[in-house]
Structure 1
């Protein structure tokens, strides 16, 4: 029988038994035809590959991630994925949707059409995430219908506003209306969730609404409650604590979880890899390689009902990698639909591409240049000392805490610089209303200088954190002038800058180049005293009003758990 490719002498991962079996595999038309002991005596192959006893593993599948978090285009992202053995992803482009709405989603899908990695999109469900922020675009119910009708959509993206779901019993809010519409008109569509810290009745209300997965930071108590109630768990790196990994290893829950990346910085992507990094980490933490591979191939495919992949078996797509060292997951070659797309022994360089987005995507920051006066916090209170809300940054998490700090108001101004903390400010940048808001900030953030960025989830307005107005204005203006990005300033000197001209959140530079710039940005932030495992993700989520506990948008300070805007000044001392 004639086949396109015959791979001989390999240790083939069998997903159904969760073990490796010595044998051969034949591919025809981009799919596996045969997996077993027969070889050249049974097949006439256009190409015969000697596996040399290597491990043959299905292409990895990541079902929860945001390409925009790496700040590169789909083409650059795909280049990094393939080298990491990741052949299929389910990205949710809600960052670009927050900037450009329905058109932003379509633009991301168009930009990924010629990528080597398969990209099945997740439908942004929470754009904007709340009604307490200004975004460039929104996704409404009619937009969901159009996307489901015209694009390659595989699920409804994470329902982020969990507060609305569990408190709006009448179902009148946008989030509940979307859920009701999906359940009524698309009853078989998978619904992804964002369910931080919820337990008991609140958790069950989320599941009852149709949300049956969670990718947020897990604890043993929360994970056990979710699995026990029928929820699927997507484990990202920050949840891979020794306690969680021990639980996953020692309990029979393999069908109820998978590994996902969610957000990966470009320098980490370049240096450590992608989903393959999580598989290596799981193995290093004591999980059997066969179990770790299962959680990055078979269970994610099953969760998304991608029945044509996730295993090496007859009829499945011929996506696989050859690995020489199983414990360290050393990837030698990667194949997509039976075609070699990466060889560790050969040069693997990314080709630069022309502009992949419409012209107006490069002109989305509509803000005048700022001055030091723009960082004056005005008040309507009488002169005196007041308790003020401060956002306290915590290393180890993107969650923040609220703390009350004392500050003096004098002649209609708040003397924030004497409060022993920094200032956080946000400016609406779409030219819609000119909103701006201020708060105090402390904890594990910078201790001097300033940082400005338009990469601020999910509204992507201009966010500035700093300790003096001069540095804050300089950092902000550098970002405005390059139509988006990051800038770190100290004493009037730019320490690092990353230009993100596509919607203020992406660069078309190759992944390798972007990684170098991101690494320099990270080091500059740390040089100002930022103490965080991921300072870039930390600062970019200060404006995420669905991530506990105190955040900021152009509407003001947000008490996330209460789902409301709260004043900066609490009461006189």
Structure 2
């Protein structure tokens, strides 16, 4: 029997027992063929690799992630993550769909890559409803029906509209869920349910959703798993306390490790492999961590052709020199080497060709200082205002009340240690502008602006001086999207994302370098968070607890009620066309 390759004397990860056994492994036609502890004298290989006690594990599978979070395109992303042992991903491209609708999603899906990219149906475009946020595209029942015909579609992407899912049977998201259950009854339905417990959790799961990838806490983790929820651990949920729950209860079958979002600068250093290593440091045995990044995600998504080293499975695998350090000697995709230690990324000369209009998609008026003067009708010297307070860990926010002076009909928000948070509709649909206040988000004078504003991706600007806000917003429009940081009248950080205001086709090293400068500039302004960029970009995500901002205003994300900037009994906001 002729085979393509034999790998001799390698410590093979046995999925069934979650242990390593020294074996010989043969590969034929891109798949594992015969695997045995005995010599393979009856096989004739084209290539022999003497592993010399290296370890072999299946290629890593990321079952929930967003390529757009890395701010790059599928072709470049593929090259960037193969070196980290990631051979299969399930991408939920709802960012692309929020900007360009079904057309944008189809443009994204047609990319040819070495990495196997499967897709989720974006279930929440917009994340709530068009009455609560303005997006460039909408994924409704007709679009879902079209996507269900696509073989690359393997699941329904994270369903996020809690109120619509749990308590509104006729809501669009419930209709989408019901359509998926009818057309693809065994397809996984992915969920997004942070801080939902008890009967509310039951109401959410009753719809048919069976997973959650949001921020997990040990006090609710066991409840969710026992309620039938498959847990997908993203970085911030990989804590010693959460891993202890998994280990003590032997919950390995009911969870996997994912990335969800990896920023372009973080992608310079790792991807799913880094989360695996973090889980081990947090107390998860290495064999279980491998199991939860290969087999359980494969089973969750119905991938019966990968996720373990066994005859007939795809020969996606990693050779490691050191299991504890988790250092790679080489990565193979379908039996072909796609990376070896020390090699530089060989980016393709031809990358995706997006429509020219995708680079001219940010359409809103340039701000002036006059636009930012907040006029108030009141007979009082000060008014009570609803103010957003961010946390330094995670992306949660809360609403506080502040007494803010009013002088000659102008709100003196700077005297109350506040900053303006502005969201401007950028699709040319309604010209909405919302103005909110934040409690001391930065300590130095400056501003931050982006079009990477979850998930509607309108223009979002935050700052504590009018001139810096205007400069940041004007420069953002000039580069047609991305991130801008301004300090004392100077641009200190810039990361252009010209494709839809969310993507770049620059090499990851260049893109990551630009984003590092943005991050450093945010830190220099005193913006504090474990992930400054994600924290800022989710200030506009109206499905993340507890208070977020869209172009319609400041919203309670659970009740979906909007808060006025000024308490009505204290005064009235006079700015025209401002929410």
Superposition TM-score tier, normalisation by shorter sequence: over 0.9
Residue 552 of structure 2 aligns with which residue?
Answer: 555
Question: How many angstroms apart in 2 are the aligned matches of 1:350 and 1:447?
Answer: 39
SS of residue matched to 2:509: helix
Are 2:419 and 2:441, in contact at CA under 8 Å, matched by a contact in 1?
Answer: no
Residue 29 of structure 1 aligns with which residue?
Answer: 29
- RMSD of aligned C-alpha atoms? 1.4
Are 1:395 and 1:444, in contact at CA under 8 Å, matched by a contact in 2?
Answer: no
The alpha-carbon deviation at position 358 of structure 1 amounts to: 1.0
Residues 1:382 and 1:110: Cα distance change in structure 2 (over 3 Å): farther
SS of residue matched to 2:52: coil
The alpha-carbon deviation at position 25 of structure 1 amounts to: 0.7
Are 2:222 and 2:245, in contact at CA under 8 Å, matched by a contact in 1?
Answer: no
Question: How many angstroms apart in 2 are the aligned matches of 1:347 and 1:80?
Answer: 10
Question: How many angstroms apart in 2 are the aligned matches of 1:503 and 1:39?
Answer: 55
Are 2:59 and 2:85, in contact at CA under 8 Å, matched by a contact in 1?
Answer: yes
Are 2:83 and 2:339, in contact at CA under 8 Å, matched by a contact in 1?
Answer: yes
Residue 122 of structure 1 aligns with which residue?
Answer: 120
The alpha-carbon deviation at position 151 of structure 1 amounts to: 4.9
Are 1:352 and 1:509, in contact at CA under 8 Å, matched by a contact in 2?
Answer: no
Residue 485 of structure 1 aligns with which residue?
Answer: 482
The alpha-carbon deviation at position 354 of structure 1 amounts to: 4.5
Residue 159 of structure 1 aligns with which residue?
Answer: 159
Residue 239 of structure 2 aligns with which residue?
Answer: 241
Taking structure 2 as the reference length, the TM-score comes to: 0.96
Question: How many angstroms apart in 2 are the aligned matches of 1:444 and 1:219?
Answer: 25
Are 2:378 and 2:570, in contact at CA under 8 Å, matched by a contact in 1?
Answer: no
Query: Does 2:470 correspond to 1:463?
Result: no
SS of residue matched to 2:177: helix
Query: Does 2:427 correspond to 1:433?
Result: no
SS of residue matched to 1:286: coil
Q: Which runs of 5+ in 2 are unaligned?
A: 572-579
Question: How many angstroms apart in 2 are the aligned matches of 1:355 and 1:178?
Answer: 30
SS of residue matched to 1:503: coil
Question: How many angstroms apart in 2 are the aligned matches of 1:465 and 1:444?
Answer: 9
Query: Does 2:557 correspond to 1:529?
Result: no
Residue 345 of structure 2 aligns with which residue?
Answer: 348
Are 2:221 and 2:245, in contact at CA under 8 Å, matched by a contact in 1?
Answer: no
- The 4+ residue runs of structure 1 with deviation greater than 3 A are 345-349, 351-355, 378-384, 409-413, 443-447
Query: Does 2:252 correspond to 1:254?
Result: yes
Query: Does 2:201 correspond to 1:181?
Result: no
Question: How many angstroms apart in 2 are the aligned matches of 1:567 and 1:346?
Answer: 55
Question: How many angstroms apart in 2 are the aligned matches of 1:495 and 1:540?
Answer: 18
Deviations 1:491-536 (A, max 9, x none): 1100010000000000100111111111111000000001111110
Are 2:90 and 2:117, in contact at CA under 8 Å, matched by a contact in 1?
Answer: yes
The alpha-carbon deviation at position 376 of structure 1 amounts to: 2.2
- Aligned residue pair count: 568
Residues 239-388 of structure 1 aligned to structure 2 (within 5 Å): 239-271=237-269, 273-354=270-351, 356-388=353-385
Are 2:162 and 2:558, in contact at CA under 8 Å, matched by a contact in 1?
Answer: no
SS of residue matched to 1:135: coil
Query: Does 2:403 correspond to 1:406?
Result: yes
The alpha-carbon deviation at position 180 of structure 1 amounts to: 2.2
Residue 561 of structure 2 aligns with which residue?
Answer: 564
The alpha-carbon deviation at position 381 of structure 1 amounts to: 4.4
Residue 575 of structure 2 aligns with which residue?
Answer: none
Question: How many angstroms apart in 2 are the aligned matches of 1:70 and 1:179?
Answer: 28
Question: How many angstroms apart in 2 are the aligned matches of 1:85 and 1:66?
Answer: 17
Residue 11 of structure 2 aligns with which residue?
Answer: 11
Q: Which runs of 5+ in 1 are unaligned?
A: none
Residue 103 of structure 1 aligns with which residue?
Answer: 103
Deviations 1:274-322 (A, max 9, x none): 0000111122223211111001000000000101000000110000000
Are 2:239 and 2:282, in contact at CA under 8 Å, matched by a contact in 1?
Answer: no
Taking structure 1 as the reference length, the TM-score comes to: 0.97
Residue 500 of structure 1 aligns with which residue?
Answer: 497
The alpha-carbon deviation at position 448 of structure 1 amounts to: 2.2
The alpha-carbon deviation at position 446 of structure 1 amounts to: 5.2
Question: How many angstroms apart in 2 are the aligned matches of 1:492 and 1:406?
Answer: 29
Deviations 1:364-414 (A, max 9, x none): 001232211222223454454111111111011101111111113445432
Residues 1:347 and 1:136: Cα distance change in structure 2 (over 3 Å): closer
The alpha-carbon deviation at position 48 of structure 1 amounts to: 0.9
Could you tell me which of 201, 220, 223 is aligned with 2:221?
223
SS of residue matched to 2:265: helix
Residue 417 of structure 1 aligns with which residue?
Answer: 414
The alpha-carbon deviation at position 104 of structure 1 amounts to: 1.2
Question: How many angstroms apart in 1 are the aligned matches of 2:427 and 2:379?
Answer: 34
Question: How many angstroms apart in 1 are the aligned matches of 2:46 and 2:372?
Answer: 68
Are 2:554 and 2:562, in contact at CA under 8 Å, matched by a contact in 1?
Answer: yes
Residue 147 of structure 1 aligns with which residue?
Answer: 147
Are 1:450 and 1:472, in contact at CA under 8 Å, matched by a contact in 2?
Answer: yes
Question: Which range moved further: 147-156 or 210-219?
Answer: 147-156
